[in-house]
Copies of this chain bind each other. A is one copy, B any other.
Amino acid sequence: MASSPSFSMSALHSTCTPRVPNCPKEFVDNHSSLYSKQPLHSKLMPLSTDLKHSRFFTNEKPLQWEQTARLPQRNRVLSCALDIENTPFSVGNKFQLDDVIEAQQFDRETLSAIFEVAREMEKVEKKSPGSQILKGYLMATLFYEPSTRTRLSFESAMKRLGGEVLTTENAREFSSAAKGETLEDTIRTVEGYSDIIVMRHFESGAARRAAVTAEIPIINAGDGPGQHPTQALLDVYTIEREIGRLDRIKVGLVGDLANGRTVRSLAYLLAKYQDVKIYFVSPEVVKMKDDIKDYLTSKGVEWEESADLMEVASKCDVVYQTRIQRERFGERADLYEEARGKYIVDRDVLGVMQKHAVVMHPLPRLDEITVDVDEDQRAAYFRQAKNGLYIRMALLKLLLVGW
């Protein structure tokens, strides 16, 4: 939700909230959960692999909150960050990850570290010794709205690492929520039964509310129009895997750029890298909104709107196609049909793309990518879906047993 990029992951571990007078009150209120899980004595304790899920970290630098006054008002609430972005980031010297709530919580170094773990996870997959590292751990998937794909991906990740799963596919209809129980009460009950909660909710901000309440880690698997951070991570991971780098890339975002939280999160994360150029290719009615454009500009990211998919495709390393969602058009079926047919990735588009370039898509796909594209090696979307498994394995490992 259009929040500031300078809110780095390190903020998750601050124990100093009361001691930082110039941090806006709203930030503290909204983020208190994100550092509340850290024990007060944590700075005195060395990081040890024996201490599972101990939620502390070492090597914390003195805290310096950013000058939030420089940022526009709407971003202030999330603009507190530790000065730790400049700290060298090395193995054995890492943060404890507490929750995964929004894409913006990750800085470049953390992303890189997570991707390193995800790479290891690609090897774990087939019955290697690592496949039991989460043995004895229980993950609850608390889905207030169904998302079979996301749920299966998380559950597969957990089980691939030897963990166990408690499933609720339709918590909204079935659970005590129907009787009027608050999310907070549900979380406090479910955390008694499990070691980590993966939550999907229909309301923006629900994951944060859960994290405020829970003593155990929360992963946001999508909360309404808000965040879906693991999708954003797997997208960036896929670009790195496919293209080999994240700096100096050209990315074309195609389709519904107004409503898709996927492309918005991706734009935020890409801004963390150097010399990135982004092309927006979308029907008039679903154009990328100004907040993202302003944000990219403020970060020095070049961007450009274009109506010519062929030209963009010929230049880009990544063509990121998305689905035009009918439900956004209400009664205007005519506008939907027009928007939907306008930018299709087909073999003609493939024909102008560079050899090393790839087509990505968050799936499900309707006909915005034609089926005959699938057989081309540059069709990366099913590999992208599979990468979601590795990213989720990495996050589960990091949240439950640390680096």
Contact = CB atoms under 8 A, between A and B. Distances in A.
Given A153-B193, A181-B364, A385-B192, A148 B136 contact: no
A176 interface: yes
Interface in A174-189: 174-176, 179-182, 184-186, 188-189
Closest 9 CB pairs of A and B: A181-B364, A176-B364, A156-B193, A146-B174, A192-B386, A148-B175, A127-B136, A159-B164, A189-B385
Contacts of A335: none
10 contacts: A138-B156, A138-B159, A146-B174, A148-B175, A155-B166, A159-B166, A169-B170, A179-B323, A181-B364, A184-B371
Contacts of A382: 188-189, 192
Given A138-B159, A179-B364, A181-B363, 5 more contacts: A146-B175, A148-B175, A156-B166, A159-B166, A170-B174
Contacts of A193: 152-153, 155-156, 389
A306 interface: no
Nearest to A181: B364
Interface string A171-210: 1011110011110111011101110000000000000000
A373 to B, nearest CB: 12
Contacts of A389: 192-193
Nearest to A159: B164
Interface residues of A, number: 51
A94 to B, nearest CB: 23
Q: Give this chain's copy count.
A: 3
Interface of A: 126-127, 131, 135-136, 138, 140, 146-149, 152-153, 155-156, 159-160, 164, 166-171, 173-176, 179-182, 184-186, 188-190, 192-194, 323, 363-366, 371, 382, 385-386, 389
Given A192-B382, A386-B192, A152 B166 contact: yes
Contacts of A169: 168-170, 174
Contacts of A171: 148
Contacts of A131: 136
Contacts of A170: 169, 174
